[in-house]
Structure 1
């Protein structure tokens, strides 16, 4: 892997809860290399989405800092594309216009904007639906449109918060393969949040397992499996071994130590 792209340095975050503070994250430190694909998995309430929100610049850390290319994150920026579980498409705009929307703030000509949008649409396999409205698309196609919109602004980092969580099992597997094909061509840095252990292993170079109460990094597991990932790899003994290691790390964690 290359140099650090994303660096979480001693990040903690608390939220007020009735008469006390809920500690969402405690002293999280993690480096993600340039062009690395990292998945983050853990039980509900472990702070996965909070961590990603901080990297996106949507949530301020209580303490510590997040760096992108060595520069502190001070808010959202075009260097980071963010994709959520909800598609967040404009229903009155076509696929093409939805993908172009994020480019309207860029100082580029309408011709270049259209060209970049078309390349992103082609990349996710929606060329035949470029002029369709979101209401005519399946859930998987809507999510591909959201991914294309993120790619069109040419971000260096993709931050994905359970983007396939609402999809059926078959569509989910198909979009995992589509995402990996796109990543193999573009090689952007990806931080991918998921609850699904199989998905976490299938996609990643490394799986970051988090623990809750307080939210913290429990274990980081290397996924030493070749790309491109295939069904044969998913059924291999080595995949099963890594999956079991991640599963046990998520669901058989020792309880957090009591506060001093």
Structure 2
């Protein structure tokens, strides 16, 4: 599948080893995967399967031990403005307002003040934070902080959004609302998204495809298509079609990978 014309992210025989000698840990081994332009892909798997390692390789925050990772056909050699990264921790500047946080990357790009303001206000509105544009992060809830982080990532116009457990620290209700907000933003400002999660329901609800990883060493286990229509809603979460795909992903993660299966989350 590698080399398809609309491939945005390509892993080709990627191997990543941490450490040397007997204590060396193989985080990824012979990973081959294509993620396509405009696609929303979620990545799930047991702890230690290399999900975050793969994302950090795309981000340019980690190198490969063997193989190669490409974005738009170019080998990734380091971070770049074509890739926006959102982590579980919000990483906002506490002394800057929402608008100033969103403008920060634009300022680094050398954009004029009036243009920065226009772009920032567009994305602030897109994530529903217009009334809080002048608020400091300490005045925001966890979900609002993450919305600000998403707006900041979108504002610099990246080709790819890389999201590593971005909703992991949120309560269950806020997490569900943030999933809907993210999909609404993605539908309006389409980017290629690689989204890491431990939550099978979240993985299925968001994605076009779910990438299931297996651990020790980290490798591709299975790719599961999510043939569910967008926009998605709470009714879809309760549908037999959703349950069927969810169970398929769950089985791939916790049965085929040989992991001990935990109790299903409500």
1:124 alignment counterpart: 127
2:228 and 2:5 map into 1 onto residues whose CA distance is: 18
Counterpart of 1:104 (choices 103, 107, 119) is: 107
The residue that corresponds to 1:183 in the other structure is 186
TM-score of the superposed pair, with normalisation by structure 1:
0.96
- Give 1:102 shift: 1.1
Shift, 1:103, TM fit: 1.2
The aligned counterpart of 1:250 is: 253
Paired residues, what number? Answer: 256
- In 2, Cα distance between equivalents of 1:247 and 1:97: 41
Answering whether residue 32 of structure 2 is matched by residue 35 of structure 1, we say: no
1:38-61 CA-partner distances (Å, limit 9, x unpaired): 000000000000000000000001
User: Which residue of 11, 15, 18 corresponds with 1:12?
Assistant: 15
Aligned pairs (5 A) from 1:128-167: 128-167=131-170
Between stretches 107-116 and 80-89, larger displacement belongs to 107-116
The Cα of 1:223 is off from its aligned counterpart by 0.2
- In the alignment, is residue 173 of structure 1 matched against residue 176 of structure 2? yes
How much has 1:17 moved relative to structure 2? 6.8
- Which of 50, 68, 72 is the aligned partner of 1:47? 50
- What is the CA-CA distance between 1:34 and the residue it aligns to? 0.3
1:76 paired with 2:83, answer no
Alignment-derived partner of residue 61 in structure 2:
58
Q: Is the Cα–Cα contact under 8 Å of residues 10 and 35 in structure 2 kept in the other structure?
A: yes
1:20 positional shift: 2.0
TM-score in terms of structure 2 length: 0.94
Which of 87, 92, 112 does residue 89 from structure 1 map onto?
92
Deviation >4 Å, runs of 4+: none
Quote how far apart the aligned CAs of 1:230 are: 1.1
- Mapped to 1, the partners of 2:147 and 2:110 lie a distance apart of 25
Contact 1:158/1:189 (8 A) holds in 2: yes
CA distance in structure 1 between the partners assigned to 2:19 and 2:57 by the alignment? 17
Q: Distance in 1 between matches of 2:162 and 2:15?
A: 19
Contact conserved, 1:2 with 1:34, CA < 8 A, in 2?
A: no
Question: How big is the shift at 1:253?
Answer: 2.3
- The answer on whether the counterparts of 1:2 and 1:35 sit within 8 Å (CA) in structure 2 is no
User: Structure 1: 5+ residue runs without aligned partners?
Assistant: none
